[in-house]
């Protein structure tokens, strides 16, 4: 590389997104980039010329290691969607002018579906206007719902946390109840895709029976059948543990969480929070079956739990960041780096680049054949798919009993 | 020892309670006990003669190590309260008859306040009737609210998990919000004692500002002042993170969680779940301040997160189990093992035994002087107290990407 690189992060936080940032930074530096800038809060901040020189923050090799272990977007995130080019060219011209001013050769954006839409539009506009900056996307989402890539960085660590915590909840649950029966409903993130909820099956092993039932949002949920299944299981076991996706809904389209009377929230991105699915089902079962119930939400913890990250995930996130810079350096633009699995066992995986037009705004769901016939559990194929992605640990750098992170730019949190 | 030992677990699960069980088992075996029985579901199960021979389950040294790393009560728990002796001697006679049948020399009960009440009553009754079995209590509770002991096994691991997860939430929070402000309210366990909520201050360090506000249940909560404080902080920061105990209440005694309209639950032990404190406050702030808010509950995860256990805690829990057996072997009865801190830095701590009559049914709260003047944060003294308890890690035995536990007796979960 001969000029500068700028990198941004967008969408929901993960435990691995900063490992991709570390990969971008290191590879850009290794390939001769003069400066590596970080946009603060993605394109939204860039439009206000908010950015930092990453060398001011990543000063040592230890800092690179800390960054890999730091959860959530180090540079801050955004949910900014660019207008269609024909609607408003002005915003594109402003972005390109800022890139020119900073002498940017490559623009790397780490994110999910919406972020790939940004890469698509910017690279299209650069082609139209003959602008030389190259735009490359770097996949990131715990939801694992990006098309054309075998999986997404961030998913493996979330799945490992979910499998581990689910196992701990199962232990907790069945020591509690002596005779009457206790039904624990655990709510997992995932509005449309059940990849995270399915990962609760990882709790199952020689030493644990795993959750009793798993419901993904891909398949319509039947309240009555659910109640009957729980009753049936309670005939032989005193503790029943159920994993449900926040996005499960009835045949008629109504979300389960909308059936109850829990307080409604709008999340930080303005989406209606699908909170209360577990709470509603716990209350439903208490009424139908007459046993004790409890509702547990993994909540934010599942996406930012760096202390329980998967080594495979953190390394792949780092590789993907490096591969994005390499692709830009080799002349690619309008592409996203994808992970291509070569084999399950032994697990082998490499990177490629694919046309971002085929990825943006698409959503990869769990295949129907990876869920059992009546939609109440994932199959062995699902577990074989996810198992390699949770292997290995990334020892946190412990300081005084708590994992150390790389200190985030002060500009992020202060007005 | 010349005869047999029986051990039970009672009250809420923790990440360390099985390490105490391992300590009881090993020390009893080392001191010559012929058999070490485990009551299933504590005294409640014992009354129905439900018990196991622990040697059938702990067969190797590796099993001992796995047991130390297995969360929640391996033997199952209960919340059974013995009647007063003068009310019903029959239940006492039944228990002693079972102990005679099993040739029990020492009865060890691992638990919190209610469990120490059991030890007190049984040892009293044994004295009255001249029964030779010795009854010793072994402290356990994440709530850290037992009298006469510097701290309780289980608390350190919960505090470590809470400090770690709080730090991850803070990272998550301030990468999300760009300008308008986001207030995250995190709810921590603790009905009356704020030890767990105060542990969120552990997130604070060179690399993290820690939570902005911390509210313990010991001090009456003022909604209006809280709103004003949040507004004030939002003037300089875009992300505000608040830790609240589930048990905070107004000056007039009403719990904050009762002010809202969230669904009410009764937990597995019949206590009304104080759920919804964070949800109510998030909704209150959204209304008062007009910014985005979110509510996060650590929920069950905070008490059973063996994957993030404190080494100090797990080792002390093991020691305390051993010390309980030693005390019984040396002739003590009606006592509880306590931890006595010799110094903070370097941290040194030993065990003693104290009269259980002075412990049972008492509740140790956070001292007023360990909370700042306006009741919105813990002091450095609080942090100096808890910091040594979260030191060191207990590497989980990872099998296929997930921590391995010792398989729980099948009798526990099946009818």
Does the structure show a pLDDT above 70 at A270?
no
Q: Cα–Cα distance between A245 and A2 in angstroms, integer?
A: 47
Same domain, A116 and A226: no
- Higher-pLDDT residue of A266, B21: B21
Identify the CA nearest to A121 among candidates A86, A94, A146.
A86
- When scoring A47, A165, A171 by the number of chain B Cβ atoms within 10 A, the one with the most, hence best to mutate, is A171
Structure-token match 């994440």, residue found:
B142
SS3 A288: helix
Q: In terms of domains, do A68 and A120 share one?
A: yes
Yes or no: say if B217 and B247 are a contact pair by the CB < 8 Å rule. Answer: yes
Q: Tell me the percentage of chain A whose pLDDT exceeds 70.
A: 95
A343 in reach of chain B (CB within 8 A): no
User: Quick one: pLDDT band at residue B262, thresholds 50, 70, 90?
Assistant: very low
E runs forming strands in B292-346: 292-297, 335-344
Distance of CA B392 to the CA centre of its chain: 19
In a domain, B381, yes or no: no
Question: B240 and chain A: CB distance < 8 Å anywhere?
Answer: no
pLDDT band at residue B261 using 50, 70 and 90 as cut-offs: low
Q: In the predicted model, is pLDDT for residue A272 greater than 60?
A: no
Q: How far, in Å, CA of A377 to CA of A65, rounded?
A: 38
With cut-offs at 50, 70 and 90, classify the pLDDT of residue B144: very high
Does residue B108 sit in the same domain as residue B237?
Answer: no
What is the C-alpha separation between B196 and B15, in angstroms, rounded?
14
The answer to whether residues A254 and A339 belong to one domain is no
Please tell me the total number of residues recorded for chain B in this structure: 415
Test the B interface: residue of A46, A175, A299 with most B CBs within 10 Å: A175
Distance CA B153, CA B26 (A): 18
Contact criterion met (CB below 8 Å) for B160 and B309: yes
Find all residues with CB under 8 Å of B101, minimum gap 6, and list them: none
Nearest of B205, B110, B225 to residue B164 by alpha carbon: B205
CA distance A10 to chain B (A): 9
**Rounded Cα–Cα distance for residues B218 and B245 (Å):** 10
**Once rounded to an integer, what is the mean pLDDT over residues B341-355?**
95
pTM of the model: 0.95
Domain encompassing residue A41:
4-141+149-154+306-361+392-413
Asked if B168 and A401 come within 8 Å (Cβ–Cβ), the reply is no
Residues B242, B333 within the same domain: no
Cβ neighbours around A279 below 10 Å, total: 28
Query: Please, which residues have CB within 8 angstroms of residue A405's CB and are 6 or more apart in sequence?
Result: A66, A69, A70, A71, A306, B167, B171, B207, B208
Whether the CB of B304 is below 8 Å from some CB of chain A: the reply is: yes
End-to-end CA distance of chain A: 35
Kindly tell me the number of DSSP H helices and DSSP E strands found in chain A.
13, 13
A18: Cα within 13 Å, side-chain hemisphere: 31
CB atoms within 10 A of CB A373: 8
The mean pLDDT value of chain A amounts to: 93
Nearest to B326 by CA among B140, B138, B58, B123: B138
Asked if residues A96 and A346 have their Cβ atoms less than 8 Å apart, the reply is no
Residues B178, A45: C-beta atoms closer than 8 Å: yes
pLDDT in tens, B33-74: 999 999 999 999 999 999 999 999 999 999 999 999 999 999
What is the 3-class SS of A297-346, one letter each residue? ECCCHHHHCHHHCEHHHHHHHHHHHHHHHHHHHCCCCCEEEEEEEEEECC
Q: Specify the DSSP class assigned to residue A241.
A: E
Question: B78: which chain A residues are within 8 Å (Cβ-Cβ)?
Answer: 178
Q: Are residues B73 and B85 in the same domain?
A: yes
Average of per-residue pLDDT values in chain B: 93
- Give the least confident one: A6-10, A177-181, A321-325, B171-175: A177-181
Reported confidence tier of residue A262, pLDDT bands at 50, 70, 90 = very low
Q: Which of A258, A277, A303 is the last residue of a domain?
A: A303
Please report residues of B whose CB lies closer than 8 A to that of A203.
402
Report if residue B11 sits inside a domain: yes
A45 lies in some domain: yes
Of the candidates A303, A321, A336, which is a domain's last residue? A303
Alpha-carbon distance values, A150 to A19, A218, A316, A339 (Å): 19, 19, 12, 6
Task: Check A265 against B293: CB less than 8 A apart.
Answer: yes
- The answer on B257 and B173 residing in a single domain is yes
User: Would A322 be classed as within a structural domain?
Assistant: yes
Query: pLDDT for A205-259, tens place per residue?
Result: 999 999 999 999 999 999 999 999 999 999 999 999 999 999 999 999 999 988 8
The alpha-helical segments, DSSP class H, found in A39-154 are 42-46, 61-68, 89-101, 113-129
CB < 8 Å to B402, chain A = 160, 163-164, 167, 202-203, 205, 390
Mean pLDDT of A195-203: 98
**Helix axes A223-234 and A277-289, enclosed angle (nearest 10):** 60
DSSP helix/strand/coil, A129? helix
- Answer for the pair B371, A138: CB distance below 8 angstroms, yes or no: no
Question: Is B148 among the domain residues?
Answer: yes
Q: Is residue B401 part of a domain?
A: yes
Count other Cβ atoms within 10 Å, centred on residue B323: 24
Residue with tokens 């207008």: A83
Q: Classify residue A387: in a domain, yes or no.
A: no
Any idea what the CATH number is for the domain that residue A87 is in?
A: 3.40.50.450
Q: What is the pLDDT of residue B66?
A: 97
**Residue B336: which residues within 8 A CB-CB, separation 6 or more?**
B116, B119, B136, B137, B138, B139, B146, B148, B149, B353, B354, B356, B359
- A113 has a chain B CB within 8 A of its CB: no
pLDDT tens digits, A30-58: 999 999 999 999 999 999 999 999 999 99
* Same domain assignment for residues A133 and A193: no
DSSP H or E run through B227: helix B223-234
**B170 & B299 share domain:** yes
Domain check: are B300 and B313 in the same one? no
The answer to whether residues B240 and B214 touch, using CB atoms and an 8 Å cutoff, is: no
Distance of CA A399 to CAs A8, A139, B135, B179, B396, Å?
Answer: 29, 31, 41, 32, 19
Same domain flag for A64 and A79: yes
- What is the tally of helices (H) and strands (E) in chain B? 13, 13
Residues of B catalogued as catalytic = 143
Q: Give the confidence band of A274 by pLDDT, cuts at 50, 70, 90.
A: very low
The Cα–Cα gap between B296 and B275 comes to 11
Same-domain pairing of B93 and B133 = yes
Question: A207 and B407: CB-CB below 8 Å?
Answer: yes
Distance from CA of B69 to the nearest CA of A (A): 11
Q: According to the 3-state scheme, what is the secondary structure of B121-148?
A: HHHHHHHHHCCCCEEEEEECCCCCCCCC
Spell out which residues of chain A touch residue B177, defining contact as CB-CB under 8 Å: 268
pLDDT score, position A263: 42
Reported as a single tens digit per residue, the pLDDT across A82-122 is: 999 999 999 999 999 999 999 999 999 999 999 999 999 99
Mutate to test the interface with B, among A12, A19, A271, A301 (most CBs of B within 10 A): A301
Read off the CATH number of the domain in which A204 is found.
Answer: 3.40.50.460
Q: At A409, is the pLDDT very low, low, confident or very high (cuts 50, 70, 90)?
A: confident
pLDDT over threshold 70, residue B274 = no
Domain end point (choices A280, A303, A326): A303
The pLDDT, as a whole number, for residue B89 is: 96
Residue A21 Cα, gap to closest chain B Cα (Å): 14
Active site residues of A: 143
**CA B208 – CA B177 distance, rounded (Å):** 17
**B383: in domain:** no
- Confidence band, pLDDT 50/70/90 cuts, at residue A275: low
B102-135: string of b/e by CB count within 10 Å (b at 16+)? bebbbbbbbbbbbbbbbbbbbbbbbeeeebebbb
Reported ipTM: the value is 0.94
The helix-helix angle for A17-30 and A311-329 (nearest 10°) equals: 40
Torsion over CA of B368, B369, B373 and B376, rounded to 10 degrees?
Answer: -70
Name the DSSP class of B368.
G
CA dihedral angle for residue A225, residue A231, residue A232, residue A237, rounded to 10 degrees: 140
Instruction: Please tell me the total count of domains within chain B.
Output: 2
């Amino acid at each position: 590389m001969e000029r500068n690189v700028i990198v941004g992060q967008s969408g929901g936080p993960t435990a691995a997104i900063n490992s991709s940032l570390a990969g971008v930074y290191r590879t850009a530096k290794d390939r001769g980039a003069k400066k590596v800038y970080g946009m603060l809060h993605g394109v939204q901040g860039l439009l206000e010329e908010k950015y930092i020189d990453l060398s001011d923050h990543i000063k040592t090799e230890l800092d690179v290691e800390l960054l890999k272990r730091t959860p959530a977007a180090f540079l801050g995130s955004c949910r900014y969607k660019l207008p269609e080019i024909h609607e408003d060219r002005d915003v594109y011209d402003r972005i390109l002018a800022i890139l020119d001013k900073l002498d940017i050769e490559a623009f790397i954006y780490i994110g999910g579906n919406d972020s790939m839409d940004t890469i698509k539009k910017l690279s299209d506009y650069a082609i139209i206007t003959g602008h030389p900056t190259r735009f490359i996307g770097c996949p990131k989402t715990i939801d694992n719902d990006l098309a054309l890539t075998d999986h997404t960085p961030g998913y493996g660590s979330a799945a490992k946390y979910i499998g581990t915590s689910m196992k701990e909840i199962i232990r907790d649950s069945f020591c509690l109840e002596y005779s009457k029966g206790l039904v624990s409903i655990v709510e997992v993130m995932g509005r449309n895709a059940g990849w995270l909820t399915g990962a609760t099956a990882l709790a199952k092993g020689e030493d644990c029976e795993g959750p009793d039932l798993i419901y993904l949002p891909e398949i319509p949920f039947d309240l009555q059948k659910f109640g009957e299944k729980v009753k049936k299981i309670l005939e032989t076991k005193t503790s029943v543990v159920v994993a449900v996706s926040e996005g499960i809904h009835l045949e008629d389209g109504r979300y389960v969480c909308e059936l109850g009377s829990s307080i409604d929230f709008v999340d930080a991105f303005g989406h209606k929070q699908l909170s209360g699915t577990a709470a509603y089902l716990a209350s439903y079962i208490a009424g139908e079956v007459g046993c004790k119930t409890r509702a547990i939400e993994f909540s934010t913890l599942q996406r930012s739990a760096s202390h329980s990250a998967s080594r495979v995930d953190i390394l792949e996130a780092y590789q993907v960041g490096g591969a994005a810079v390499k692709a830009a350096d080799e002349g690619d633009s309008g592409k996203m780096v994808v992970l291509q699995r070569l084999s399950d066992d032994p697990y082998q995986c490499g990177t490629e680049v694919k046309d971002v037009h085929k990825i943006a705004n698409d959503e990869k769901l769990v295949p129907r054949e990876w869920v059992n016939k009546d939609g109440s559990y994932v199959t062995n194929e699902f577990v074989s798919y996810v198992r390699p992605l949770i292997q290995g640990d990334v020892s946190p750098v412990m300081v005084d009993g708590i994992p150390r992170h790389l200190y985030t730019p002060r500009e992020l949190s202060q007005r």
